[in-house]
Structure 1
Amino acid sequence: MTDLSASEAKTVEPGMGDYFALLKPRVMQLVVFTALVALLVAPVPVHPVIAAISILCIAVGAGASGALNMWWDADIDAKMRRTAKRPIPAGKVAPGEALGIGLALSGFSIVMLGLAANWVSAGILAFTIFFYAVVYSMWLKRSTPQNIVIGGAAGAFPPLLGWAVATGGFSIESWLMFALIFMWTPPHFWALALFVRTDYGDAGVPMLTETHGRRVTRNHVLGYTIALVPVALALGFTSIGGPFYLALSVLLNIRFLRGAIAIWRRDETVAEADNYATEKSVFRQSLYYLFLHFGALLVEASLAPFGLGGW
């Protein structure tokens, strides 16, 4: 992490929007949604008040992770066009403030989740924050091109959290939800890395595109997408799956696999000619892919009381 001078770190008075941006609200949306789905589809009902408090704690914990990540990555964020306008490199929030906010929100969210739900879920939340802030941000991101693969676990923990809030433990269903996000993360981020171009190289981040080349990255996008398909389909045969989920999953995986094959077939000359249209399209598809899979699980749970959902 670079040392930012006081004048560089904070040149304008921050607003509430700047502090909110520090929490990575777009990432938080995915965390909250997948945790909420897992909580709602779990076999043990949760009181609405406890559920609401638990989801709020999970959201705050995700925001704390984002703040700690931005504090540590302020130097490389300043070098990438995609992140240069974040609160710290833009001079709106001082690094020390971000660190304080991240630590305070971490402690608050973990303790409150333990008191409101159970200490198993609180322990998972604590480990998730540690994994994202320390294992991924401080170690993996700058040391290995497998940063996205291993670090993807941080974004995959929310379903385990939601399930643990309801049941106090784990199951094959919760681990398959974890595996779905874990296997989805590499092709999602590598599709992005292909059209972000030199940002990661300029910042010294060993993304696969920089360390092994774009041809290897295209091969990996296809390989991980192929590995993702059976995980997504397997979830459809569990107690939280059903015909609706399985039918939608088949369609989504056919489309996603076709996109990955299209990326694999392209070379840089073709990609540059159309400004990476295919790569950008597959990246957008990857966003819908995950939300629709978890949305389908929610539909199955909603239909179950009427004898229409599940097997």
Structure 2
Amino acid sequence: MTDATNHTQTQDAQMGDYFALMKPRVMQLVVFTALVGLLVAPVGVNPFVGFVAILCIAVGAGASGALNMWWDADIDAVMKRTVNRPIPSGAVQPGEALGIGLALSFFAVILLFLATNALAAGLLAFTIFFYAVIYSMWLKRSTPQNIVIGGAAGAFPPMIGWAVATGGISIESVLMFALIFMWTPPHFWALALFVKSDYGDANVPMLTETHGRKATRNHILGYCVPLVVVALWLGFTSVGGPFYLAVAVALNLWFLKGCYDIWTRTDADSDADNHAVEKHTFKVSLYYLFGHFTALLIEALLRAYGLTAWAGW
């Protein structure tokens, strides 16, 4: 803990501090992709059961965030973009964060098991464990591939949603997982290129720090290419269709161009315009993922009215 953190530890936590502990922005993405996974599945779900399932997934995501903040409090206290988080700011005590994270984890997994099925609950439990232990406690501080492998934690929600509805795993849910998994590295490495000093100050072995910015640019483009393949492949499964495919083509051309532009730049180029291309591509990456899953949702609605061209592939 820093001196500033120790100085502010006595302040009373507000409800907003506890909510921030659960990383609400990340939770929004988790809830959205899980909801899409549930709604595009070929088996309908009782609305109340579906609500409970999404609630459990959201709570599980919040639990993961709390456990991550508990473990990473020392890193967060050093990095500029995280120094105001609840623990380093002194609003929430580390022990409180640990207790909240564990309690919410057990609540979410057990309730999801009782409301749906063992596979969905098992996937949620593994996701929490993977993010809190495999990624936060091991990968993040030990390897520049932390984002690559750790990205699996954020890729499981649509698989969980699919499992809630079907009780199983299929090529569609695997490809939804793969879409998020392959998207995560270029998304975060684009961010790392313009907040690189934060990771270095915190001794986090981000690729930008261990291999340099040129290697990071190479990796961004290298992951974007197979990402395009996964995104388009999903369009030819039972959850895809002409609308999704049209959106996917447009989004992938947009994101691929951004990654290519990053790849062609030098350090001098980035410094000269204050990383304008990297920042733009990072924003594009947010639209990219949201756009794909929104298109899947619209495709499911079209399919319900018999308006898709290749339902049942």
TM over 0.5: same fold?
yes
The answer (yes or no) to whether the contact 2:5–2:89 under 8 Å persists in 1 is: no
**For residues 279 and 290 of structure 1, what CA distance do their matches in structure 2 show?**
17
**For residues 63 and 208 of structure 2, what CA distance do their matches in structure 1 show?**
29
**For residues 162 and 52 of structure 2, what CA distance do their matches in structure 1 show?**
15
Matched, 1:162 2:161: yes
Instruction: Provide, for residues 190-212 of structure 1, a one-character-per-residue CA deviation record: whole Å limited to 9, x for no partner.
Output: 00000013000000000000000
The answer (yes or no) to whether the contact 2:241–2:309 under 8 Å persists in 1 is: yes
What TM-score comes out, normalization by structure 1 length? Answer: 0.98
**For residues 270 and 281 of structure 2, what CA distance do their matches in structure 1 show?**
13
Q: Secondary structure at the match of 2:13?
A: coil
**For residues 305 and 18 of structure 1, what CA distance do their matches in structure 2 show?**
42
Instruction: Provide, for residues 56-92 of structure 1, a one-character-per-residue CA deviation record: whole Å limited to 9, x for no partner.
Output: 0000000000000000000000000010000000010
The answer (yes or no) to whether the contact 1:64–1:102 under 8 Å persists in 2 is: yes
Instruction: Provide, for residues 94-115 of structure 1, a one-character-per-residue CA deviation record: whole Å limited to 9, x for no partner.
Output: 0000000000000000000001
The aligned counterpart of 1:30 is 29
Structural RMSD (CA):
1.4
User: Which segment drifts farther, 300-309 or 85-94?
Assistant: 300-309
The aligned counterpart of 2:181 is 182
The aligned counterpart of 2:45 is 46
How far off its partner does 1:228 sit?
A: 0.5
Matched, 1:115 2:122: no
Matched, 1:263 2:266: no
Distance change >3 Å, CA 4–CA 285, structure 1 → 2: same
The aligned counterpart of 1:85 is 84
Distance change >3 Å, CA 310–CA 17, structure 1 → 2: farther
Distance change >3 Å, CA 5–CA 86, structure 1 → 2: closer
**For residues 93 and 52 of structure 1, what CA distance do their matches in structure 2 show?**
30
The aligned counterpart of 1:232 is 231
Distance change >3 Å, CA 90–CA 216, structure 1 → 2: same
Percentage identity across paired residues of the two chains = 71
The aligned counterpart of 1:16 is 15
Q: Secondary structure at the match of 1:248?
A: helix
Instruction: Provide, for residues 24-54 of structure 1, a one-character-per-residue CA deviation record: whole Å limited to 9, x for no partner.
Output: 0000000000000000000000000000000
Gaps of 5+ in 1: none
Where do 1:90-109 residues align within 5 Å?
90-109=89-108
**For residues 2 and 281 of structure 2, what CA distance do their matches in structure 1 show?**
37
The aligned counterpart of 2:281 is 282
The answer (yes or no) to whether the contact 1:39–1:163 under 8 Å persists in 2 is: yes
How far off its partner does 1:309 sit?
A: 2.4
Q: Secondary structure at the match of 1:291?
A: helix
Gaps of 5+ in 2: none
The answer (yes or no) to whether the contact 2:151–2:184 under 8 Å persists in 1 is: yes
User: Which segment drifts farther, 133-142 or 2-11?
Assistant: 2-11
